[in-house]
Amino acid sequence: MKISACMIVKNEEKVIARCIESYRGAVDEIIVVDTGSTDQTVAIAQALGAKVFHFAWIDDFAAAKNFAIAKAKGDWIVFLDADEYFAGGTGGNLRTYLENLDKAYGAVACRMINIDETSGKIINEIVHVRIFKNDKELRYLNPIHEALHYSRKGGKLQAHLADRRKLLIYHTGYSKDINQDKAHRNLKLLLRQVDGDTVAKPEYYYYIADTYFTLSQWDKVITYVRLFRDCGAKLTNLNVRLHNILIDAMMNLHYPVGEVMEEVEIAIGKFPRHPLFYFYKAKFLYDDQRYDAAFLELRRALQLHENYEDIEVNPLAVNLGNLHSMMGVISEFRSDSGEAVEYYIKTLQIDKYDATAFDRLLRLIRPQPLEEIIGFLNALFDVEKEADLDFLATNLVNHPLPKVLAYYTSLREKKYPKEDYVVLQMLVANGYYDKAFAALLDCYGRDKDERLALVSATAAALSGNGGYVAQATKQLPSAYARILKAYHGDIMLFSEEDKPAFLSMVRTFFLWADDTAKEKLLRLADQFPDDMTAPLGSLFIMEGYYQDGLNYYNYAVQRSVEAGILVHPALYYNQGYCLNRLNSPIAASEAFIKAYEAGYRVNDIYEFLRWNVDKLNASSSVRAKANEVLRDRAESKHAERYERKPSKTYK
């Protein structure tokens, strides 16, 4: 048995060697048909032992591929594109696999994983026929999105689905840096196939829709998806993709949630074993703050994904990080920090530069000893890589871990020294104000970066150096100047315009200052014309300082009661939220009940009540009241599925 490897190419010098090397030892000849390369593609192919033929490009992929097949002498043909290659050495299994294949099969379908080479992320997984018998009745059809066609009358090509452990293909042709160029090229070819509302082949409607999807032209995606549907045609393994791009286009165009959910339910009905649409459903439930229901759908999507073996394209891989992150957030809300940590770790294992997951993870593990935190991070990141050290140093400035920040900043400076703001922030975080202040002011004067103004003001305030304060008040924006003067004793009435700078400084003080300095700055809140209690409480919740947030919301409630005005239901709710995060189920339940009685009706209150009521004594009066609220919820109009106001759209 002889095997011929074929490919058509144009300017593929960056990838052709990788493709050929992935199967070179298992095939008897390599046929490369060049359609007009101007780089080193041909030379590389010849150096690797390929027979190179030239074909004048006529805007017809099928014609070029059939020309290559005509040159092949083997019994079997392996036809990969240059940006495809057999993964993990599986190309070496080709000969053994084909020799053991049942004679009834005329082709082999392989699982193909599409990878964005720029980011390293998996885009999706699909099945394609890339190996077939050299049969004169078997040729490619269609100028664009060409497909194998078996022309023998009454004959049917039987394809065997290869075990991924034996044959697996990676494809990098959908990487973001090249995908747009391909889309523009393909669109021109596809539109030539369309004449008014008539197409030579109905599947072109789908391919046009998919190309417009790549180009983010959402309205045209919907138009061509519907044209394809009207034809009643089916696709071999892209029917899921059809629903996928339609739903995404509708969301990008802010269609009403109910309409998008109808499409999701239609897709689930057609593909009940496909994971993607359960993920969509989970995301809507999550956005609607129906967390338990969302968690169930996320878990179902994950289980289906892990066991998925269908030939339909599976694009869930690109959303796996988001999926695990949502499960982590819900676990946090349920007060299950251990489970949340596991989900955030999985998120970072998929995308270690996910800053949101990193921040949530750090807030959970920051009470641990510094040595354990560093060991933990070293297990997730490669401290020999510049990008990893950049990420760690840049994101650790957002956490009250100055010594951990110093450790990774020092590592970075030893291995990859660079001039940026991280080193200056690290010095301020660790109390080295004299080493940082002059450089901070100089950089701010040059770049006018708001972050530098904030760190400069923080350094001046914490240093206790009157000279630094004088310099800062002259050079920094007026809001920081007024805050610094007030911090050092001047009587000052702040304005609304000073609020963002004040809140930013509070946040930075909670990262780097001691308790005395924090309290001194917080006392300045009384110098604002409006009550700052709620904004400060919200800031503390966002940063994970739940006891501080609770203190401020308690004070806000007390002030309302003492003033004889109605307590806003959101104040009670935020009390309950902080108490929930502090694992105080009785007090949390009491606060949530007060929020409900005051008129709070957002879905999340019922989730938090349910989680806390399960921790209460069965005979507790608080439990009885909480159960009454939950029963009222179940019986009310608010229990309708995917509850939304009529004007609500997906954003």
**Same-domain pairing of 551 and 526:** no
CA distance 137 to 157: 10
Burial of 13-29, coded b for 16+ CB within 10 Å and e otherwise, reads: bbbbbbbbebbbebbeb
**Same-domain pairing of 155 and 221:** no
Q: Which of 199-213, 233-247, 332-346, 351-365 has the lowest mean pLDDT?
A: 199-213
What is the 8-class DSSP label of residue 39?
S
pLDDT of residue 200: 61
What is the 8-class DSSP label of residue 91?
G
- 299 part of a folded domain: yes
Q: Is the pLDDT of residue 647 over 50?
A: no
Domain end (from 490, 505, 530): 530
Q: Which of 186-190, 346-350, 454-458 has the lowest mean pLDDT?
A: 186-190
**Same-domain pairing of 155 and 188:** no
The fraction of the chain above a pLDDT of 70, given in percent, is 96
Residue 114 pairs in a beta bridge with 124, 171
- 493 part of a folded domain: yes
| Mean pLDDT on 410-419 | 92
Residue 61: which CATH number? 3.90.550.10
534-539's contacts with Cβ under 8 Å and 24+ in sequence apart are: 534/570, 534/571, 534/574, 535/499, 535/503, 536/503, 536/506, 537/574, 538/574, 539/503, 539/506, 539/507
**Same-domain pairing of 38 and 159:** yes
**Same-domain pairing of 516 and 491:** yes
Read off φ and ψ for residue 622, nearest 5 degrees.
-65, -40
Q: What is the DSSP string of 229-289?
A: HHHT---SS-HHHHHHHHHHHHHHTT-BHHHHHHHHHHHHHH-TT-SHHHHHHHHHHHHTT
pLDDT, one tens digit per residue, over 251-264 is 999 999 999 999 99
Using CA of residue 549, residue 551, residue 553, residue 559, what is the dihedral sign? negative
pTM: 0.89
CA distance 568 to 531: 14
CA distance 446 to 454: 15
Q: Is the pLDDT of residue 19 over 90?
A: yes
**Same-domain pairing of 20 and 151:** yes
pLDDT of residue 174: 80
**Overall number of domains in the chain:** 4
What is the 8-class DSSP label of residue 568?
P
pLDDT band with cut points at 50, 70 and 90 for residue 645? very low
Domain end (from 495, 530, 565): 530
- 143 part of a folded domain: yes
- 343 part of a folded domain: no
**Same-domain pairing of 154 and 7:** yes
Q: Is the pLDDT of residue 644 over 50?
A: no
**Same-domain pairing of 57 and 151:** yes
| Mean pLDDT on 579-599 | 96
pLDDT band with cut points at 50, 70 and 90 for residue 120? confident
Q: Is the pLDDT of residue 177 over 70?
A: no
pLDDT of residue 639: 45
| Mean pLDDT on 517-537 | 94
pLDDT, one tens digit per residue, over 124-151 is 999 999 999 999 999 999 899 999 999 8
Q: Is the pLDDT of residue 176 over 80?
A: no
Residue 241: which CATH number? 1.25.40.10
- 475 part of a folded domain: yes
- 253 part of a folded domain: yes
**Same-domain pairing of 23 and 158:** yes
Identify the residue whose tokens are 């021109």: 188
Q: Is the pLDDT of residue 401 over 60?
A: yes
- 589 part of a folded domain: yes
**Same-domain pairing of 506 and 472:** yes
pLDDT band with cut points at 50, 70 and 90 for residue 646? very low
Count other Cβ atoms within 10 Å, centred on residue 421: 18
Burial of 482-512, coded b for 16+ CB within 10 Å and e otherwise, reads: bbbbbbeeeeeebeeebbebbbbbbbbbbbb
Domain end (from 530, 553, 580): 530
Q: Is the pLDDT of residue 641 over 50?
A: no
- 406 part of a folded domain: no
**Same-domain pairing of 313 and 213:** yes
Read off φ and ψ for residue 38, nearest 5 degrees.
-120, 5
3-state secondary structure labels for all residues of 392-420: HHHHHCCCCCHHHHHHHHHHHHHHCCCCC
**Same-domain pairing of 199 and 211:** yes
Q: What range defines the domain where residue 559 resides?
A: 534-641
Q: Which of 225-239, 378-392, 498-512 has the lowest mean pLDDT?
A: 225-239
pLDDT, one tens digit per residue, over 212-232 is 999 999 999 999 999 999 888
